[in-house]
Amino acid sequence: MSTTLYKSKLSVRDTEKAIKFVKDTFQRNLVKSFGFERVSAPMIVPAGIGINDDLNGVERPVSFDIPNCGGATAEVVQSLAKWKRVALKRYGYRDGEGLYTDMNALRRDDILDAQHSVYVDQWDWEMVISKGHRTESFLKMVVTRIVGAIVDTLEETKRQFPQLTLTLSRDVKFITTQEALDLYPTLCPHERERALCREHGTVFLMKIGGALSDGKPHDGRAPDYDDWSLNGDILFYDEAIDDSVEISSMGIRVDSDSLLRQLEVAGATDKLKYDYHKQVLAGELPLSIGGGIGQSRLCMLLLEKAHIGEVQVGIWPDNMRAECEARGVKLL
């Protein structure tokens, strides 16, 4: 975190009002753009059935036993990437129809910093698509509409809270992770993202998960939900922290071919024993596109905050709290 003295443009009480305004407004704009229906979502799922999100494959879910449920073990969700696709089938959604939900997760192994916390809140969404829409052009169209909903939300928020001055670009720079590596071969992945966002403002960084020409993936991505050739992250340049901020991780979901290929690359073919993976292989789940849109991250960006703890209540290391206090950053 920068050592520069910081002053929020909103008081704590106005911040709380603005958080609600941003969340209410963005949900309305998302539904306006796609026609998604809101559904209820789980906070816990059964362990051992492969439905929880493994993220990068190494994060440990928070788990506990339920004595009055036959001693079953439950896991707090890390995201709903796979649950949503199953829900599309269970609820009878058809091509072009979709759902969104409020997802509340715990990721205890996340590194805590100005953008990351143990508690994760996001709008998780998923839409049924046809085989003909498993294309890069369709992915880009969806990204452009999500970015439009975000910028619309910013404009409405600035009218409500005129002390805010942030500007975001609707023009998206689409670039692959390999192209980013070629442009900035001496930079680490996060530095590449920051450099791209400083130059272009709004970026969709595509094809995350597979190894690049340097033998390393740009970032980790579980092999069993996104198709690594048809996914990406929506990134914005955040003036308040002079850095890139990832607002959404999203993509077209795996079909049987990409699931098998990616599990083999990841050395994770043991997952094929789970019902979810069997359904994908058998073509029993609808083809879909989906992702998560960070609620606190979006509020942090649009409200020009220097730390995610200004828009959500969390637990932070003592040294981080002391650093924030010294800078004038008021954590909730």
Query: What integer best gives the mean pLDDT of the chain?
Result: 94
The pLDDT value given to residue 305: 96
pTM value?
A: 0.93
Task: Say which of 8, 53, 121, 244 is annotated catalytic.
Answer: 53
d(CA 293, CA 124): 6
Active site (annotated) includes residue 122:
yes
Task: Say which of 107, 192, 221, 297 is annotated catalytic.
Answer: 107
Domain ranges of the chain: 12-327
Cα separations (Å) of 158 from 20, 98, 236?
A: 14, 29, 17
The pLDDT value given to residue 151: 98
- Copy the structure tokens of residue 153: 């939300």
Active site (annotated) includes residue 238:
no
SS (H, E, C) 192-234: HHHHHHHHHCEEEEECCCCECCCCCECCCCCCCCEEEEEEEEE
In the chain, the amino acid numbered 14 is D
Quick: pLDDT tens for 102-130: 999 898 888 898 999 999 999 999 999 99
Burial class of 110 by CB neighbour count within 10 A (0 to 12, 13 to 18, 19+) = middle
Task: Say which of 75, 126, 224, 246 is annotated catalytic.
Answer: 246
Task: Say which of 124, 224, 226, 233 is annotated catalytic.
Answer: 233
d(CA 28, CA 189): 34
Answer whether 152's CB lies under 8 Å from 302's CB.
no
The pLDDT value given to residue 79: 82
Q: What are phi and psi of 295, to 5 degrees?
A: -75, -50
Regions of the chain short of the pLDDT cut 70? 1-3, 56-57
Q: What are phi and psi of 293, to 5 degrees?
A: -125, 115
The pLDDT value given to residue 3: 56
In 3D space, the residue among 169, 174, 231 whose CA is nearest the CA of residue 204 turns out to be 174
Active site (annotated) includes residue 54:
no
d(CA 212, CA 204): 17
- Copy the structure tokens of residue 323: 């650093």
Active site (annotated) includes residue 102:
no
Query: 12-327 — its CATH code?
Result: 3.30.930.10
Task: Say which of 79, 115, 122, 244 is annotated catalytic.
Answer: 122
In the chain, the amino acid numbered 121 is D
The pLDDT value given to residue 145: 98
Active site (annotated) includes residue 233:
yes
The pLDDT value given to residue 269: 95
d(CA 291, CA 226): 9
Q: Is 88 helix (H, G, I), strand (E, B) or coil?
A: helix
Active site (annotated) includes residue 193:
no
The pLDDT value given to residue 210: 94
d(CA 140, CA 175): 11
